[in-house]
Structure 1
Amino acid sequence: MHPSVRNDIDQPRNPNYKKDIVYVTRHNKWVLNSIGVWPVVLNGVGQFLPKIAIGLYNLVLFFVVMHCVLHVVFEQKDPVMVLKILGLICFSIISMMKYWALTARKSKIEYCIEQLYADWKQVEFQRDRELMLKYGKIGRKLTMYSAVFMYSGGLSYVTIKQYAIGSYVDEFNRTIKMLVYPTYNALYDVQKSREIMYFLQCMCEYVSDSVTAGACGLAALFVTHVCGQIDIVMSRIDDLIDGKFSEEDSTLKVRLVEIVQHHIRTLKFSAMIETVLQEVCFLEFFGSTFVICLLEYYCIVDWEQNDKIGLTTYSLLLISLTFNMFLLCYIGDLLIEKSTNVGISCCMIDWYRLPAKTVQDLILIIAMSNNPAKISAGRIVDLSLTSFASVLKTSFAYLNFIRKTVT
């Protein structure tokens, strides 16, 4: 555990901290534990389970993706089918890279979670706990929505789409039962181990969906926690003059020091969040633009071919990916807005009642809020609702290009 965090949580001030922590982290813990990313404290052989899970899931992802790539390169000739498989390959490869990014950042994720635990343990006033719970509920709901959308889209693909694919008779009069993830039959006879291959493909889909839902849930958990901390800072600023929610004998100088320390701590936590999520957001931002474009194309093709099952499946996948991209951009926009509001709070109090030195100190807080905390996609694009609109515009532009090229 990081030393600064350990010192903060030696003596919890919030008697309800265990219940609060479980409430806000439960769904993230379920999703990320299943893929070995959530930090857990296990003894004996159990401490190797997350590493074993990560290694196993990476092997499954690589094995399934390799089959799809070889099938496209050596067997598939239909350009429309090549495009459909290409979207599947892109989504799987992007998910695998996001998995690597989350695994590489696991130590920093652990630090952020410990910091979150420390903040919940050190809540001293009921007003502050209510502010944190307000945003904790938002983060919890966003995580649930992300998981529901991703798992429903993935489940429909490996069940409904698998049922609709059916089978065909090859040139040797053999009945070939197809799979949702195409396979390369030159390596070995997939039909003899079709059930095992289908199980591996379901596992691949589950891991891909869990990585996407887990990354969005982690962003929602951390950012909404930061928003709660910023609201506490703003309540302290409102309380600066009269000290209604501080210790009775606290002085103006002491209250200002507490505000600055809390604000700086929150900004450092925000900077750590951006470091943890920048690779994942980069892959999600640019990868989703291309995959959403392909899914839009699949929906148009299946609409023209009157393929209702295919249209339903791809529509669910399109909604899932679009919603998760929207969720990340909404979270980024919320963080920018909240960070900026700290400076606005400094301007809205009765600052004319403060000593000149204190007013000068408030100007420094305003200056810090002019450079708000952000979540960026690889430090290239700041995630906001404006960038979400750019994703949709770009995907439609790519869609027009693909339709003109293929037809």
Structure 2
Amino acid sequence: MHLSMEDETDRRPRNQHYEKDIAYVTKYSKWILRSIGIWPAMLEGVARFLPKFAIGLSNFVLLFAIVPCILHITFEEKDTIARLKLCGLLSFCCTSLMKYWALTLRKPRIMDCIEQVWTDWNQVQLHEDREMMLKYGRVGRNLAFVCIVFMYTGGTIYHSILQYAIGTFVDEHNRTIKPLVYPTYSTLYDVQSSPIYELVYALHCMCGYVMYSITAGACGLAALFATHACGQIDIVMSRLNDLVHGERNKATSNPNARLIEIVEHHLRILRFSATVETVLQEVCFLEFIGSTFMICLLEYYCITDWEQSNTISLTTYMMLLVSLTFNIFILCYIGELLMEKSSSVALSCFMTDWFHLPTKMIHGLILIIAVSNNPAKISAGRIADLSLSTFGGVIKSSLAYLSFLRTTIM
């Protein structure tokens, strides 16, 4: 992918390894998001319709699982405990669908952020700057990988091993009932007849892949953008430390020119961070609300399965609980990292040998400190800032809801 905003002269990379570096830091997020049509791609001919086809297919398989499940819970399921378990499954599906719609709506902004990432990697000049960017890029890549492993492992167990453990059984009408991942409304079609059962099961597995890809992809995207911003902030801080003596960047001998360059770079990071927050605010809000509810339900499922000595079901729900808990933890950790790193610019300004600078330049540093007092952040719908304290609030809220739920059901 090339940046449309640049002319042919600017496209020549200053960092000769920038394509390899970008491929390294975006590998997992790009693969996941491209499979569901969210990652921007410069395709020609018939291939340019592939992202739209992927978006349409993903919406279809999600709705194919959600709508019959709603009808089944409303009109057919009478058992309270079974309804509660199905409500947890349905809430995860609906949350995933809404997150997918939010990502689809924000796709142009996502492309702007990716182009900015490409530009920054292209324009990096010093080896030390590239190493700092790679350090944070490696953090984002590892976070995305761990999230993918947890989500797909839990999802695979739920869609395969748990269904195999349930197995076929004979109902009161002497009919052999084969298990389904998501319940269906019997009035729509006879799901137990072949090949309808095989087709429905395949579509349910596709739905699971899309849901876990949405969750893992959104987390990977947040990790990619936030860690990239942190790497850029580290570059700004290194330039601030070199502002007075200019030993690091000998091409610019004038301290005033170095300050202008620092301010421009800092403002570019702040604009990028603001765009990232706009891109992720709906997704993070849905993740924030959905995780609180889902963690509570999964804790309840684990307790009931423990009491019933249902080992396979307990293991499955434990894996899903760990996956969702770790996912919201990653988002909160990313938000904490971005806030901490962006606020540390003020300390770097103070720690420079500012007393050797002219008065006007000192005033410029004071303005940078003032701007840094309002650090970049990732918010959940501009209601709550994602941080480690927010993660603690999610866990405490889920435990409070669990206590209320057990009191109500018991």
CA-to-aligned-CA distance 1:221-247 (integer Å, 9 cap, x gap): 000000000000000000100111213
Q: Does 1:270 align with 2:273?
A: yes
TM-score of the aligned structures, taking structure 2 as reference length: 0.97
Aligned to 1:158: 159
Q: Secondary structure at the match of 2:192?
A: helix
CA distance in 2, matches of 1:315, 1:128: 42
Deviation digits for residues 86-130 of structure 1 (CA, Å, limit 9, x no counterpart): 000000000000000001111110110011000000001001001
Q: Secondary structure at 2:177's aligned position in 1?
A: strand
Give the 3 Å change call, closer, same or farther, for CA 57–8 of structure 1 in structure 2: farther
Structure 1 runs (4+) greater than 4 angstroms displaced: 1-9
1:67 alignment counterpart:
68
TM alignment of 1:137-148, pairs within 5 A: 137-148=138-149
Report the Cα offset of residue 402 of structure 1: 0.8
* 1:393 maps to amino acid: K
Whether 1:212 and 2:215 are equivalent positions in the alignment is yes
Partner amino acid, structure 1, of 2:16: P
User: Aligned residue for 1:258?
Assistant: 261
| Partner secondary structure for residue 42 of structure 1 | coil
> Which shows bigger deviation, 11-20 or 264-273?
11-20
Alpha carbons of 1:61 and 1:184: their partners in 2 closer, same or farther (altered >3 Å)? same
In the alignment, residue 182 of structure 1 is paired with which amino acid? P
Answering whether residue 241 of structure 2 is matched by residue 238 of structure 1, we say: yes
* Letter in structure 2 aligned against 1:279: E
Distance apart, 1:7 and its partner CA:
8.5
Contact 2:283 2:380 in 1 (8 A): yes
Deviation at 1:4, TM superposition (A): 5.4
Alpha-carbon distance in structure 2 between the residues aligned to 1:209 and 1:233:
36
> Where in structure 2 are the equivalents of 1:12-31 lying within 5 Å?
12-31=13-32
Q: What code does the residue aligned with 2:326 have?
A: F
Post-superposition CA distance 1:184-227 (Å, at most 9, x none): 11111001111111111111111000000000000000000000
Q: 1:78 to 1:7 in 2, by over 3 A?
A: farther
Q: Which sits farther off after the overlay, 166-175 or 59-68?
A: 166-175
Q: Secondary structure at the match of 1:222?
A: helix
CA contact (8 A) 1:241 1:354 kept: yes
Q: CA RMSD in A?
A: 1.3
Matched, 1:180 2:201: no
- Secondary structure in 1 matching 2:39: coil
Per the TM alignment, residue 170 of structure 1 is displaced from its structure 2 partner at its CA by: 2.5
Shift of the 72–367 alpha-carbon distance from structure 1 to 2, 3 Å rule, reads same
- Equivalent residues of 1:381, 1:387 under 8 A apart: yes
**Residue equivalent to 1:129:** 130
- Cα deviation, residue 2, structure 1: 7.5
Q: In the alignment, what sits opposite 2:346?
A: 343
Point out the more displaced range, 317-326 or 75-84: 75-84
Distance 1:127 1:317 in 2: 41
Output the amino acid matched with 1:344: L
Cα distance in 2, alignment partners of residues 395 and 9 from structure 1:
51
| Residue 72 (structure 1) shift | 0.8
The answer (yes or no) to whether the contact 1:28–1:143 under 8 Å persists in 2 is yes
Q: Counterparts of 2:3 and 2:366 in 1: how far apart (Å)?
A: 32
1:297/1:173 Cα in 2 relative to 1: closer, same or farther (>3 Å)? same
- Partner deviation per Cα, 1:143-192 (whole Å, 9 max, x = no partner): 10010010001001001111112223223211111212111111110011
For residue 330 of structure 1, the aligned residue among 304, 321, 333 is 333
Secondary structure of the 2:49 match is helix
Contact 1:5 1:114 in 2 (8 A): no
The CA distance in 2 between the partners of 1:81 and 1:313, in whole Å, is: 17
Runs (5+) with no aligned partner, structure 2: none
Aligned to 1:371: 374
Q: 1:395 aligns with which of 394, 398, 405?
A: 398
CA, structure 1 residues 269+373, in 2 after alignment: closer, same or farther (shift >3 Å)? same
Question: For the residues of structure 2 that align with 1:203 and 1:293, how far apart are their CA atoms?
Answer: 26
CA distance change for structure 1 residues 86 and 9 in 2, over 3 Å: closer, same or farther?
farther
Contact 1:136 1:224 in 2 (8 A): yes
Q: Which ranges of structure 1 fall in alignment gaps of 5 or more residues?
A: none
SS in 1 for 2:269: helix
In 2, are the aligned partners of 1:302 and 1:308 still within 8 Å (CA)? yes
Residue type of the alignment partner of 2:76 = E
TM-score by length of 1: 0.98
Q: Mean Cα displacement is larger for which, 7-16 or 102-111?
A: 7-16
Alpha-carbon separation, structure 1, partners of 2:200 and 2:26: 34
Distance 1:248 1:187, change over 3 A: closer
Alignment counterpart, residue 289 of structure 1, candidates 284, 289, 292: 292
In 1, the alpha carbon distance for the partners of 2:262 and 2:102 equals 34
Alpha carbons 1:27, 1:143 under 8 Å: kept: yes
Q: How much has 1:8 moved relative to structure 2?
A: 9.1
1:383 is the counterpart of 2:386: yes
In structure 2, the partner of 1:47 is 48
C-alpha displacement at 1:249, in angstroms? 4.7
Report if aligned partners of 1:8, 1:122 keep a CA contact under 8 Å in 2. no
Give the SS at the match of 2:187. coil
Maintained 8 Å contact 1:295/1:317: yes
Q: Using a 3 Å threshold, how does the CA distance of structure 1 residues 179 and 317 change in structure 2: closer, same or farther?
A: same
